[in-house]
Structures are given as C-alpha cells and as structure tokens.
Amino acid sequence: MNRRNFLQTAGLGSLAVAAGASSCTTRMGASSAQAMHHVPKLKLSLDRIVKETVGLRPFRASGPRIAKETLGSKTIVHNYGHGGSGWSLSWGTGNLARELVQTTGEKKVAVLGSGTVGLATARLLQEKGCEVTIYTKDLPPNVTSNLATGTWSPASRVCDPKIATQAFHDQWETATRFSFRRFQFMLGMDDIVSWVDEYGVSNEPFRQQIDPSIGGEVYHLPGLIPERKELSPREHSFGARYVSWRSSMMFNIPSYLHHQLSTFIMLGGKLKVQEIKKLEDIDALPELCVVNCMGLGAKEIFNDQELTPISGQLACLIPQSEVTYKLNARGANIISRKDGIYLGGNGIIGNWDTTPKREVTEKFVDTIQQVMKEMRS
C-alpha cells in the first residue's frame, strides 16, 4: 500500500469511527431520556408480618364538620369527621377551627382529642397566644391516628361527592392548600415528613377520572404534588402492562406524633388524660371555648347520626432498608415507613369491628407477591 492509499484508507476509517461514535452517542442520548426506575423487590411472606391492626376512619357523607355552636355558657368549635384524609387535612382544618376560636376572644382553650387533628389544632392555637389544654381518653400510640397509613391523601374518603356542596369543596381546597404548606415546613426534620416515589401497577388502563363514589379520591388540586406519569416498559421492571409514577408525601407516624406532642408541651401546653363521655363532662371543664377533635367519639356525645366508621386493615412487615417506595396494585398497596412496611387497601363502611382478619392479610400478601414475581430482574 502506497502512502496516498494509506492516508485515503485511514481517512475513511476515521470517518467510519466518527460516524459510529456519533450514532452511539445518539442512541445513548435517546436511552438516557427514558431513565430506568430501579425498584427493589419486597421480601414478602406471612412470617415477616409482625403486626396486624384495624383502624376506623370517621366518615361524614357531607364532609368534615367545621362549625361553631353554643352549649350553655360555652362555645364548641367542631373539627372532626375527616374520613381517610385526617392526616393530610389536619393543619388546614385546624386553621379553620382556629379562625372560629378567634371570633370568641377566648385565650384559654380546651381541645378534645390527641390524634393528629387535635395536636395540629392545639399547636396552631398556641401560635396565636392561646393557653391550650388537651383532654384525651388515650395518648399516642393508643389513638386512631396511629393506625393510619400516613400518606398525603387529602381527598381520601373525605365525603360523598353526590351530597357534598360547592361550599364544602371550597373549604376543602382552602384546608388542603394550608396543610400542604405546613407540611413543607416540616421537611428535613428527622424524616417525620418526606417525599417518596409512588407507583401504580395495573393490567388495565388507568382511569382518567375517578368515579364519584364514596371513598374515592374525587377531588384533585393541580400544582401541589407532581402529576402522575405513565411509564414505558423501558422505564420500569414491573411485569404489568400499565405503570404510573409520581412523587408523593409520606408521614412517619410514630415520630410525627411524638414531635407534635413534645412541641406542644415544650410551648406550655397542658395535657390531661380524661375521658369525655357526655355533654355534662364538657360543661364541667374550666375553659369557656372547647374544640371538638374527637373523631368517632363525637358521634354519641353530639348525636351526629351522619358520622360512621370506615374500617381499614393494615399488616406490618419487618422494615427493608432498600424499599422506600409506595405501591398501589390491584386493590392492595404497600407503604414503606421507618417503623415498617405496611400492606393495606380495604375499607368497609359502617364496620365498628377492630379485630384483624387473617384472610384479609393473606389477600394483600398474595396480591403483592404476584406483582413481585412478575418483576423483571
């Protein structure tokens, strides 16, 4: 080969290499546009379940009761009946209750109940200079709030949309936006509030709109948490035909309630373990303004015929450090918290029974196990 032929051949080879590199770069660029979601498999078996519980959500078809009434010489401000949205709406409805308290001019206020709604309401009243005493039958962890899933779900069983009015929807939106802002202030504080990945897995197309039935997430506010995104098969390892993803908020319930209770006491709040059984017990309290955050406990005392329980069973798995996501699949879900990985997904309207059913847990396990088996390596 003479010098000219060598240079010509080398030049063509260089062009080929350059073209190949360019093509490779293009392919890599296209691939990187669809980032793979690495979802660790859950170690799931019945012998890894360490706890089963049933919590009762306080549901009112018309929505939570946020109202003021007079009882003898006292003013009662009601803040109860949040369904499955109590955790998410606690700061927002607490703020609405605080506004009603402020109309009374009273600075010494009683709060009935030490769940997430009662604690948030008490903390907000303290911020306005009120001297607050919480009266409660039990303390965390022996309260209904400890039996929740602890995820951002402000429209979960919050009302029956066939009955709820536009006025309620406006109130709900105000409360939701206020709560969302308050939870953002708590990010980074020992992981009591955190952002997590949430996946939806289904073999059927996701419904664009949820049917207006009791228990559905029928209300939605854009611009708070990111919108759901449907993933292509290249972007995930699930075996299902349809997979969605978004970022969502989660509350680590034990540490959150401990933080709220400790802060309340540190700021001068008083706590009295005292069960309220009848209206006369409220009348006997020294405070002239009382905020009712009793949840289902308000049904008998205030004769609220609309208030009814919606039971929900949870099974707690041993924590798995690499599993930090939330998953909804075929009527079951998992929520990964610091204190364990919770399986759930049911809701029975009007059920007062808090006894866990093993067959319900087995159904959750079977469903999620199948999802895990179908995942690609």
Tell me if the bond preceding 205 is cis, omega within 30° of 0. no
pLDDT of residue 216: 55
pLDDT of residue 207: 65
**Token pair 């209904």 is at which residue?**
144
Cα dist. 176→85, 119, 166 in Å? 10, 17, 15
Q: Which two tokens stand for residue 282?
A: 């409220």
pLDDT of residue 196: 96
CA angle 9, 15, 18 (to 5 degrees): 140
pLDDT of residue 34: 62
List all residues 6 or more positions away from 163 whose beta carbon is below 8 Å from its beta carbon: 61, 62
Nearest Cα to Cα of residue 193 among 141, 257, 121, 146? 257
> What are the residue ranges in the chain where pLDDT is below 70?
1-34, 207-216
Question: Please, what are the domains in the chain?
Answer: 46-374 (3.40.50.720)
DSSP state of 151: B
Are residues 223 and 173 in contact, defined by beta-carbon separation less than 8 angstroms?
A: no
Q: What is the pTM of this model?
A: 0.88
Please tell me the distance from the alpha carbon of residue 316 to that of residue 8, in angstroms, as a whole number.
71
List all residues 6 or more positions away from 287 whose beta carbon is below 8 Å from its beta carbon: 74, 106, 108, 109, 110, 133
β partners of residue 131: 108
Are residues 58 and 295 in contact, defined by beta-carbon separation less than 8 angstroms?
A: yes
Tell me if the bond preceding 319 is cis, omega within 30° of 0. no
Please tell me the distance from the alpha carbon of residue 170 to that of residue 153, in angstroms, as a whole number.
17
pLDDT of residue 205: 87
